[in-house]
Amino acid sequence: MRRKIIAGNWKMNKTTAQAAEFAKDMAARVGDKADVVFCVPFTSLAAVVAAVDGTNVSVGAQNMHFEESGAFTGEISASMLKGLGVKYVIIGHSERRALFAETDCMINKKTKAALANGLVPIVCVGETLAQRELGVTIEHVRMQVKAAFDGITATDAARVVVAYEPIWAIGTGVTASASQAEEACAAVRAVICEIYDNHVADVIRIQYGGSVTADNAAELFGQPNIDGGLVGGASIKADFDRITNYGN
């Protein structure tokens, strides 16, 4: 069985001191029911890596550049993240796509660079409300998955985590129903099977993200094709441990 993975995307929140304090406290409470990842701002990565050392929590970054080095002011490379002890990195979050004009091509390059440096990419896909209302959710998600995995070997693909995040549910308090989330995550698994084979489709982990709370986590994570969650605002609240324990 696939082990659940629950990642908290802290976004642009918490100073270094606040992050270290929160991470240390939360790491003692998240339990071992799932793999837990704190995806924190660049400024807090080193402090949070130290704060969760020896616990069930790993640390992820929220973004990275696809080049190894160069004249890219303000950017961070995969090897820089690796050197800090970071294990995961979010790639292609809808906020990065919408606010910073990240393209499918860029996301593919970032995914390859992360894998080449031993990081686990959490690749985000998902549709807008307009796309859902037009009935093109599955087509859109399939296209995003195909673009993200272009040129990636089956061995590397099996290491990737895919996060299905309907954009209309991110930070809105509106959650996709369990059946809506399951349908989209099943479609992700199906297209992975088409690109690779049954084995890769069976082992790859697919998260749901979008207004996940302690109250809806158990139902969402109990779906056959949902292997955990990418949690936004709720990941920096005092009861995030209830999400990692599926509401308990």
Task: Name the residues annotated as catalytic.
Answer: 93, 165
| CA distance linking residue 248 with residue 148, whole number of Å | 35
Burial per residue of 79-118, b for 16 or more beta-carbon CB atoms within 10 angstroms, e otherwise? ebbbebebbbbbbbbbbbbeeeebebebbbbbbbbbbebe
Using the 8-state DSSP alphabet, how is residue 44 labeled?
G
Residue 97 corresponds to which tokens in the numbers above? 């796509």
No. of helices (H) and no. of strands (E), the chain = 12, 8
Rg (CA), the chain: 17
| CA distance linking residue 167 with residue 156, whole number of Å | 27
Strand, coil or helix: what is 145? helix
Using the 8-state DSSP alphabet, how is residue 228 labeled?
E
